Amino acid sequence: MSEDYEVHGPHDHAVEHAAAAHGGHGDGERDPFPGRMAVMTAILASIGAILAYQSGNSENLALYYKNEAAIRKTEAANQWAWYQAKGEKQHLAELGAGLAALTPNSAAAQRRFAADADRYSKEKEPIRAQAELLEKQVAQNDAHAEELLHGHHRWAQATTLIQISIALTAITLLTRRKWLMWASLGVGAAGVVLGALAFFA
């Protein structure tokens, strides 16, 4: 049977310590500042969790499309190799037809070689079209992966700003400096804006 362990970060201990130390003013009134900072930390942590999820999801999708591009690139290379093999057979058949034309009483052989050359020429075209289609898919998958990776960087930057904002909130609770609270709010707002830009991009 497994047991669950709760892992606390340094800022959690700081928040608990500050809340215990500044629990009241001594005149029966409760100090609202620690409660506000705790709510702010909870909101920031929730936003950070969403941003971190989106960052990971974006990265996973980018890797998926990169993998798809690699698979399609291999398939395209195989199609081009097949196309080249058909072309070589066509050239050999044309050469056979040309040599047969120099030999007396070889009209049947010349017709057979010419028919083979024509068949190989016709067989090449669908192979070429398939190879070009696969190359277009490679380009699309690569472009989609790059777009997702760009979004991943935005999500990661937003997550980092939210984490910095949470740390500043913990320091604010310990030092009770108003300017730190406004700095924390500013950094958190910047993280939310970056997350919104990543979402709508």
Write out pLDDT tens, residues 17-64: 555 555 545 455 678 888 888 899 999 999 999 999 999 999 999 999
Write out pLDDT tens, residues 129-173: 999 999 999 999 999 999 999 989 999 999 999 999 999 999 998
Rounded-to-integer distance, Cα 85 and Cα 131, Å: 14
Rounded-to-integer distance, Cα 44 and Cα 46, Å: 5
Q: Tokens for 25?
A: 């003013």
DSSP-derived letter for residue 177 is -
Q: Which domains does the chain have, with CATH numbers?
A: 33-200 (1.10.287)
Name the maximum alpha-carbon separation found in the chain: 123
Q: Are 113 and 75 in contact (CB under 8 A)?
A: no
Q: Are 90 and 117 in contact (CB under 8 A)?
A: yes
